[in-house]
């Protein structure tokens, strides 16, 4: 009897697979085995590609997976199947899709647990992916439940819910959303419902085993963990991205459909979750189970309130939730699990946090005073125990509770509830204990006497989480601001106590205790910075204690703010400039200086308080009165800080700045951070006219300005040349201050010595001498910093008179000597980019000032020569790092060009009129440079990628005349290929307008445009074809960006536009129904379209395009 051809083919594939299996297993052992060498692994990998890269290999890979007992063979087979089927699923016939789905289900149910878990995970991911990709293809493909084995079924469902939230590249965004919506309505409801029932069944089975002193079944515990994860994924399913969703009005809450109301209002579901948290689960999965339950409860706490139809239902829900929290706080689970396990604690604290944000005190007061007070007391006890726990990670996450109490206090004050006094007493204790415990922790950090046996378990938590420390500190400072008087008194007492201990320790050279005090002071300064930053109720709060002191209302035994002296820190830390002070203390002090500038010297309300604090007789002269008021205000503020006047404070700041810049070692990470903060601190003060005037009068700053800066040895221990550039920017601002500007030439002439030392040498000696190279790089960073400080045409003129022409030649000399040194060339081009930057309209090209013309021409000539020398960067060979070796140069050149064409300080038409082709040559070189770069390669560098299109947009908007006058047609076509839609629209409109009304001033330009349109019309047709395909068949979010370009391209293509679009539809669309509907929409688009690109034609096209856009977004077959 003859076999069916398909059966014969399958039999042949099976026989071949049997023969090939030993070789496949051997190659897998070589590839993944630890004893194979590198060459053998490469050869094995090359041979294995014949088994894994073709869709025809799927049958034999299935055979390998089923038959082989080799883990490596199973893994590679599963991985290859996942990739091949996932990438080619849309090409597989429907009957085979159903068969593959059944095969995967059977494999997972019967064989998956016997395989390696990575193999099982691969197959689960594949099942979820293909289920989503074929969701609408066949009803059978929506069946994702596997009744044969509960764990496999749960893992599959878990991956399915996760997969449904992803966007697949193979399908349109709208299809992804509609699949998610259909999945939610048809499957997710049942998944969530079954998961809730299963939670109760699983925990009951586990408790039964525990009560009978039996070992908990590991698979059963893993089932509970996975089931809870499914519940959590169901609660946070991405409802905000799917269409037709009724819950979009509350995007910050846990949004579930109204049909799920019964799951939310049923008490048992919440009770089971809390029971799981309290239950004893002796299993390795205990931590993960309780963490997952906490995550679910956090979403229940954050459930949108509109899900409740009646107020009574909401209050009943709140009461049940609060009662469960109280019972949990009173149970042993609080100490045995929550406070002991950082993973559980991290998720658990989100429950009261979200609950308070969502339901607030207003709902809590409706459940009765007794329950409310009980809840507050238990939450307070839990908070204090969290603060006092020895686990650093638990303390770290307990800061979230500060926000809970801050909201409770704020809302209770607004409502004036009966428990108000109790809440305020609680807040006072929380602030005091939180500060005390954190100061203890800072003091013990790094102490060798502290027991650190459990450091790996408790304290070595994820370091990425440290990024939220500032948020935690902000929560605490907001809580302190609600009790500002208490908080300030407490902080002052701690400051005085620790500073006294610090000074004593310095005198006795107690190194460990010195470090402990520095850590504590660093923490206190951080809290101070946060406390006195934005968000204070009023400026009066910042000096409330001072006002009380003046009125003699302050307790005589309590410490006063006048005892806190910023100089104490400076004096203590400078006693031995070689001794390293705790870096966090240094940075905190510098941040305090920045805060002081912004919140005190920069706040008009504080200055007003200063005037009121020290009233004097008014002067008749308005300007003299304003000057006197300002001085009195600053001096009064200084006196509040126990200083004679504001200049004393400025001297303190100046001394601290120079101390850090001179003595800090910039070779360490901590040193780099301190120097960076110091320069930022310095920059903040000189960037404001009022604070710059104060700082410039400091005796220390006067010495820095009037003497040779090199005498101070500033930044001699810092290899970071960017820091020296920033320092000279700051110094130049001071040089240009009204008190010193007359001597600017004298000050800047300090650089003449460096210039002479470098450029008096023979070029060959310069190249070989590393010290000269370093000095040269340093010089151009200094020059860049100085130019960066020039904020007016007068300032730029003073610099330019010194620099040009005498010192300008150093650019050419440096490039001639170091043309092959990328670092030197790059810093020179950065300087050129800065000098052609018309910041604050500082460059001039007017009646008697041609600074702008000179810097443009000189910078352009240098750039042109360099690009010609390196063949528009084509000779830049990338060996290791493309960004450092090539794209950095591209970025600098683009900065120079953009600064030239957007500076508005020169008329390029004048240059062209007098046959000066500098701008056209520069433009040609830059455009050739851009077109030689593969745009796809620079997508990874976001800043460069955006700069390219920003440059093109500026050029197309203002300089298309140059393109047709000077560029050849090939360069124009290359530029258009890398341009975006807005550029193409500028191009189309420019060509159209000039064809309609040719230029009489330049007949040659008109002829060039006419010639381009006649000979290169295929360019516009190519645009049309690309736009049609992109608009109709590619996935995109912002269709409206194509509107103007699509319209102008249709007009430029004239009669060929519609046939091109229809040809694209016929070639790309497989569905006849969709072909017909697309064709109808295109016909509507072209019907009655106004010819031309004037504003009236644009306006008439807009509603037509809007209709097409609506069709593309909403219509999915």
CB neighbours of residue 942 within 10 Å: 9
Q: Is residue 703 pLDDT above 70, yes or no?
A: yes
**1114 vs 529, which has greater pLDDT?**
529
Q: b or e along 486-506 (b: 16 or more beta carbons within 10 Å of the residue's beta carbon)? A: ebbbbbbebbeebbebbeebb
Distance linking the first and last C-alpha atoms of the chain: 45
d(CA 506, CA 514): 7
pLDDT, residue 17, reads 67
Residue 415 — pLDDT band, cuts 50, 70, 90?
Answer: confident
Lowest mean per-residue pLDDT among 233-247, 430-444, 583-597 = 233-247
Task: Please give the share of the chain, as a percent, with pLDDT higher than 90.
Answer: 32
Spatial neighbors of 450 by CB under 8 A, at least 6 apart, are 444
Angle at 922 between CA 921 and CA 925, to 5 degrees: 85
Whether 682 has a pLDDT exceeding 50, the answer reads yes
436, pLDDT greater than 70: yes
Phi/psi at 303 (nearest 5 deg)? -65, 140
The sign of the dihedral angle between the CA atoms of 986, 991, 992, 997 is positive
Q: Are 737 and 692 in contact (CB under 8 A)?
A: yes
Pick the range with the lowest mean pLDDT from 55-59, 550-554, 596-600, 938-942.
550-554
Q: What span, in angstroms and rounded, lies between the C-alpha atoms of 1052 and 1057?
A: 8
DSSP one-letter code for 619: P
**What pLDDT score was predicted for residue 333?**
92
Confidence band of 414 (pLDDT split at 50, 70, 90): confident
Query: Which residue in 1055, 1059, 1097 sits closest to 1079, CA to CA?
Result: 1059
Structure confidence at residue 153 (pLDDT): 61
Q: Which two tokens stand for residue 185?
A: 């309505």
Q: Look up residue 581 and give its DSSP letter.
A: P
CB neighbours of 736 closer than 8 A, spacing ≥ 6? 744, 789, 790, 791, 795, 798
Please tell me the predicted confidence (pLDDT) of residue 16: 67
Burial class (CB in 10 A: 0-12, 13-18, 19+), 195: buried
> Rounded to the nearest 5 degrees, what angle is found at the Cα of 556, between the Cα atoms of 555 and 557?
90
Residue 363, token pair as written in the block: 């709902």
pLDDT at 788 over 90: yes
Asked if the model's pLDDT at residue 638 lies above 80, the reply is no
Asked whether 303 and 320 are in contact (CB, 8 A), the reply is no
- Would the pLDDT of 172 be above 60? no
Residue 350 has a pLDDT of: 93
For residue 78, give the nearest of 48, 44, 116 by alpha carbon: 116
> What mean pLDDT do residues 935-961 have?
91
Average pLDDT over residues 725-740: 94
538 pLDDT higher than 80: no
pTM higher than the cut 0.75: no
Q: What is the C-alpha separation between 636 and 608, in angstroms, rounded?
A: 10
Measured distance CA(589)–CA(302) in Å, rounded:
39
- Does the pLDDT of residue 7 top 70, yes or no? no
φ/ψ of residue 592, rounded to 5: -60, -40
The residue among 281, 299, 306, 311 whose CA lies nearest residue 206 is: 281
pLDDT above 60: residue 375: yes
Dihedral angle, C-alpha 637, 642, 647, 652, nearest 10 °: -120
Indicate if the pLDDT at residue 6 is higher than 60: no
The percent of the chain in helix, strand and coil, each rounded to the nearest 5, is 75, 0, 25
pLDDT grade for 1074, boundaries at 50, 70 and 90? confident
- What's the mean pLDDT in 1107-1115? 77
Going from the C-alpha of 1066 to that of each of 1023, 1063, 1078, the distances in angstroms are 18, 5, 10
CB 273, CB 237: distance < 8 Å: no
Are the beta carbons of 163 and 129 closer than 8 angstroms?
Answer: yes
Listed in sequence order, the residues at least 6 apart from 265 whose beta carbon sits closer than 8 Å to its beta carbon are 308, 313, 317
Average pLDDT over residues 916-926: 92
CB 247 within 8 Å of CB 239: yes
| Residue 129's pLDDT band (cuts 50, 70, 90) | low
Question: What's residue 1116's pLDDT?
Answer: 46
Cα–Cα distance measured from residue 484 to residue 495, given in angstroms and rounded to the nearest whole number: 16
Angle, alpha carbons 965-969-974 (nearest 5°)? 115
500-513: pLDDT as tens digits: 999 898 888 888 88
Output the CA–CA distances (angstroms, integers) from residue 607 to 297, 477, 551, 1032, in the order listed.
50, 24, 20, 62
> What's the pLDDT at 230?
85
For the stretch 999-1057, pLDDT in tens is 887 888 899 999 999 999 899 999 999 999 888 877 666 777 888 999 999 999 988 99
867 vs 931: CA distance, rounded Å: 13
pLDDT at 733 over 60: yes
Q: Considering only CA atoms, which of 227, 325, 211 is closest in space to residue 277?
A: 325
Mean pLDDT across 350-373: 88
Question: What does the block give as tokens for 477?
Answer: 């400072």
Provide the β-strand partners of residue 846. 849
Residue 836 corresponds to which tokens in the numbers above?
């052609």
For the record, the structure tokens of 881 come out as 């790092």
Average pLDDT over residues 15-37: 78
Q: CA-to-CA distance for 266 and 724, rounded, in angstroms?
A: 66
Write down the H helix ranges in 822-907.
Answer: 822-835, 851-869, 882, 888-902
450 compared with 20, residue with greater pLDDT? 20
Range 549-567 average pLDDT: 34
Strand partners, 849: 846
Which residue's entry shows tokens 């008014």?
618
Average pLDDT along the chain: 80
Highest averaged pLDDT of the listed ranges 74-78, 552-556, 779-783:
779-783
Residues of the chain with pLDDT > 70, as a percent, come to 80
What does the radius of gyration of the chain's CA atoms come to, in whole angstroms? Answer: 37
Kindly tell me the sign of the dihedral angle through the C-alpha atoms of 241, 243, 245, 248: positive
Domain assignments of the chain as residue spans, ordered by start: 528-591+598-656, 1017-1114
CA dist., res. 290 & res. 601, Å (int):
51
Whole-angstrom distance, CA of residue 479 vs CA of residue 527: 12
pLDDT of residue 471: 65
Tokens of 676: 């960076």
Read off the pLDDT band of 273 (50, 70, 90): very high
Tokens of 334: 């609080």
Mean pLDDT (whole number) for 962-977: 92
User: Is pLDDT of 121 > 50?
Assistant: yes
Q: Are 414 and 463 spatial neighbours (Cβ–Cβ below 8 Å)? A: no
Asked whether 28 and 48 are in contact (CB, 8 A), the reply is yes
Tell me 303's DSSP state: B
Tell me, what's the pLDDT at 107?
Answer: 67
Rounded to whole angstroms, the maximal C-alpha distance in the chain is: 122
Query: 686-690 — which CB contacts under 8 Å span 24+ positions?
Result: 686/730, 686/733, 686/734, 687/733, 688/597, 688/601, 688/602, 690/601, 690/602, 690/630
H/E stretch holding 1074: helix 1072-1086
Q: Are 131 and 87 in contact (CB under 8 A)?
A: no
Q: What is the predicted pLDDT for the residue at 1048?
A: 93
Q: Does the pLDDT value for residue 690 go beyond 70?
A: yes
In which band, very low, low, confident or very high, does the pLDDT at 9 lie, cut at 50, 70 and 90?
low
Give the model's confidence band at 922: pLDDT under 50 very low, under 70 low, under 90 confident, else very high: very high
Q: Residue 172: which residues within 8 A CB-CB, separation 6 or more?
A: 1035, 1116
Instruction: Name which residue leads in pLDDT, 114 or 413.
Output: 413
Q: What is the rounded CA–CA span in Å between residue 271 and residue 265?
A: 11
What confidence score (pLDDT) does residue 249 get? 41
User: Could you tell me if residue 676 is left (phi over 0), alpha (psi between -120 and 50 degrees) or otherwise beta?
Assistant: alpha
CB count within 10 Å of CB 357 equals 15
Can you tell me the distance from the alpha carbon of 606 to that of 595, in angstroms, rounded to the nearest whole number? Answer: 13
How does DSSP classify residue 735?
H
For 642-662, the pLDDT digits (tens) are: 777 888 888 888 998 998 898
Q: How many beta carbons lie within 10 A of that of residue 264, not counting itself?
A: 18
| Dist CA 335 CA 683 (whole Å) | 50
Residue 461: pLDDT over 60 = no
Measured between alpha carbons, how far is 92 from 39 in angstroms, rounded to an integer?
A: 37
- DSSP per-residue string spanning 175-197: HHHHHHHHHIIIIIHHHHHHHHH
Q: Is 80 exceeded by the pLDDT of residue 548?
A: no
| pLDDT on residue 52 | 74
Q: How far is CA 764 from the centre of its chain?
A: 46
pLDDT on residue 457: 42
Give the count of beta carbons closer than 10 Å to the beta carbon of residue 13.
Answer: 17
Residue 1032: the pLDDT is 84
The answer to whether the CB of 865 falls within 8 A of the CB of 873 is no
Considering 153-157, 907-911, 913-917, 971-975, the range whose residues carry the highest mean pLDDT is: 971-975
3-state secondary structure of 217: coil
């Amino acid at each position: 009897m003859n076999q069916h051809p398909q059966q014969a083919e399958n039999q042949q594939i099976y026989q071949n697979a049997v023969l090939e299996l030993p070789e496949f297993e051997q190659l897998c052992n070589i590839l993944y085995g630890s004893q194979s060498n590198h060459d053998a692994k490469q050869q094995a990998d090359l041979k294995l590609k014949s088994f894994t890269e073709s869709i025809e290999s799927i049958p034999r890979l299935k055979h390998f997976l089923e038959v082989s007992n080799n883990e490596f063979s199973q893994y590679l087979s599963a991985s290859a199947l996942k990739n091949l089927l996932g990438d080619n699923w849309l090409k597989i016939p429907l009957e085979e899709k159903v068969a593959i789905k059944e095969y995967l289900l059977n494999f997972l149910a019967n064989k998956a647990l016997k395989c390696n878990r990575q193999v099982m995970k691969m197959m689960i991911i594949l099942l979820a992916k293909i289920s989503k990709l074929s969701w609408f293809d066949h009803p059978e493909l929506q069946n994702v439940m596997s009744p044969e084995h509960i764990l496999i079924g749960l893992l599959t469902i878990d991956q399915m819910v996760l997969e449904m939230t992803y966007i697949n590249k193979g399908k349109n965004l709208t299809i992804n959303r509609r699949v998610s919506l259909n999945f939610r309505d048809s499957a997710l409801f049942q998944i969530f419902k079954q998961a809730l029932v299963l939670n109760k069944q699983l925990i009951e089975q586990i408790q039964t085993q525990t009560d009978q002193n039996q070992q908990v079944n590991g698979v059963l515990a893993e089932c509970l963990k996975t089931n809870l994860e499914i519940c959590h994924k169901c609660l946070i399913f991405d409802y905000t991205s799917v269409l037709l969703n009724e819950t979009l009005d509350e995007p910050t809450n846990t949004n579930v459909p109204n049909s799920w109301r019964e799951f939310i209002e049923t008490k048992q579901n919440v009770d089971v979750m809390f029971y799981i948290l309290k239950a004893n689960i002796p299993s390795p999965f205990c931590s993960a189970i309780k963490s997952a339950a906490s995550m679910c409860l956090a979403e229940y706490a954050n459930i949108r309130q509109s899900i409740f139809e009646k107020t009574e239902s909401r209050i009943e829900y709140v009461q049940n939730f609060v009662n469960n929290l109280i019972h949990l706080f009173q149970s042993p689970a609080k100490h045995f699990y929550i406070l002991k396990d950082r993973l559980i604690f991290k998720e658990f604290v989100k429950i009261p946090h979200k609950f308070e944000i969502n339901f607030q005190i207003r709902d809590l007061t409706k459940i009765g005073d007794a329950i409310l007070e009980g809840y507050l007391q238990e939450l307070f006890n839990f908070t204090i125990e969290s603060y006092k726990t020895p686990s650093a990670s638990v303390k770290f996450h307990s800061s979230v509770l500060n926000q809970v109490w801050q909201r409770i206090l704020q809302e209770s004050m607004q409502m004036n509830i009966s428990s108000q006094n109790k809440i305020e007493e609680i807040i006072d204790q929380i602030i005091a204990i939180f500060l005390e415990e954190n100061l203890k922790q800072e003091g013990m950090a790094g102490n060798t006497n502290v027991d650190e046996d459990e450091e790996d378990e408790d304290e070595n938590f994820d370091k990425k989480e440290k990024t939220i420390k500032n948020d935690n500190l902000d929560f605490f400072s907001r809580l302190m601001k609600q009790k500002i008087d208490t908080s300030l008194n407490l902080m002052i007492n701690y400051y005085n106590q620790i500073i006294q201990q610090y000074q004593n320790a310095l005198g006795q050279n107690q190194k460990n205790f010195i470090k402990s005090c520095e850590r504590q002071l660093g923490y206190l300064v951080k809290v101070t910075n946060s406390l006195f930053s934005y968000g204070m109720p009023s400026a009066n709060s910042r000096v409330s204690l001072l006002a009380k002191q003046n009125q003699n209302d302050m307790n005589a035994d309590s410490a006063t703010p006048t005892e806190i002296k910023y100089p104490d820190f400076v004096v203590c830390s400078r006693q031995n400039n070689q001794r390293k002070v705790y870096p966090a203390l240094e940075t905190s002090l510098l941040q305090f200086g920045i805060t002081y500038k912004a919140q005190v010297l920069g706040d008009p309300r504080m200055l007003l308080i200063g005037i009121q604090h020290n009233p004097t007789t008014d002067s008749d002269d308005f300007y003299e009165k304003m000057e006197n008021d300002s001085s009195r205000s600053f001096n009064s503020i200084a006196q509040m800080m126990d200083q004679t006047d504001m200049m004393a404070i400025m001297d303190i700041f100046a001394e601290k700045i120079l101390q850090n810049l001179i003595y800090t070692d910039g070779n360490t990470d901590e040193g780099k951070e301190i120097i960076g903060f110091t320069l930022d601190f310095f920059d903040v003060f000189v960037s404001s006219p009022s604070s710059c005037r104060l700082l410039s009068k400091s005796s220390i700053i006067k010495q820095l300005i009037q003497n040779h800066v090199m005498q101070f040895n500033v930044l001699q221990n810092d290899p970071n040349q960017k820091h020296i550039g920033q320092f000279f920017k700051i110094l130049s601002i001071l040089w240009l201050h009204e008190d010193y500007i007359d001597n600017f030439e004298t000050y800047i002439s300090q650089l003449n010595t460096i210039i002479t030392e470098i450029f008096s040498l023979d070029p060959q000696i310069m190249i070989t001498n590393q010290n000269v190279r370093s000095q040269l790089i340093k010089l151009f960073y200094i020059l860049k910093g100085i130019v960066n400080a020039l904020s007016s045409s007068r300032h730029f003129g003073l610099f330019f008179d010194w620099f040009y022409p005498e010192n300008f030649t150093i650019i050419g000399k440096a490039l001639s000597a170091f043309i092959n040194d990328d670092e030197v060339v790059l810093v020179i081009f950065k300087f050129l980019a800065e000098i052609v930057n018309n910041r604050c309209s500082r460059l001039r090209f007017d009646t008697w000032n041609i600074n702008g013309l000179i810097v443009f021409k000189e910078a352009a000539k240098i750039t042109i020569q360099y690009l010609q020398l390196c063949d528009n960067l084509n000779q830049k060979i990338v060996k290791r790092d493309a960004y450092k070796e090539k794209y950095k140069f591209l970025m600098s050149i683009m900065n120079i060009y953009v600064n030239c064409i957007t500076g508005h300080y020169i008329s390029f038409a004048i240059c062209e009129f007098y046959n000066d082709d500098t701008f056209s040559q520069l433009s040609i070189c830059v455009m050739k440079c851009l077109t030689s770069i593969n745009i796809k390669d620079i997508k990874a560098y976001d800043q460069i990628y955006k700069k390219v299109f920003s440059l093109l947009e500026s050029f197309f908007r203002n300089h298309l005349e140059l393109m047709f006058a000077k560029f050849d047609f090939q360069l124009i076509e290359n530029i258009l290929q890398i341009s975006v839609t807005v550029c193409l629209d500028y191009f189309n409109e420019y060509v159209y307008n000039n064809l309609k009304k040719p230029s009489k001033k330049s007949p040659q330009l008109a002829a060039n445009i006419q010639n381009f349109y006649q000979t290169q019309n295929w360019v516009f047709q190519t645009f049309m074809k690309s736009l049609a395909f992109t608009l109709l068949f590619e996935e995109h979010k912002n269709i409206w960006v194509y509107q103007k370009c699509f319209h102008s391209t249709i007009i430029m293509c004239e009669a060929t536009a519609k046939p091109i679009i229809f040809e694209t539809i016929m070639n790309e669309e497989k569905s006849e129904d969709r072909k017909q509907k697309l064709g109808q929409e295109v016909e509507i688009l072209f019907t009655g379209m106004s010819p031309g690109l004037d504003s009236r034609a644009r306006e008439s096209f807009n509603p037509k395009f809007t209709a097409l856009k609506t069709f593309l977004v909403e219509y999915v077959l």
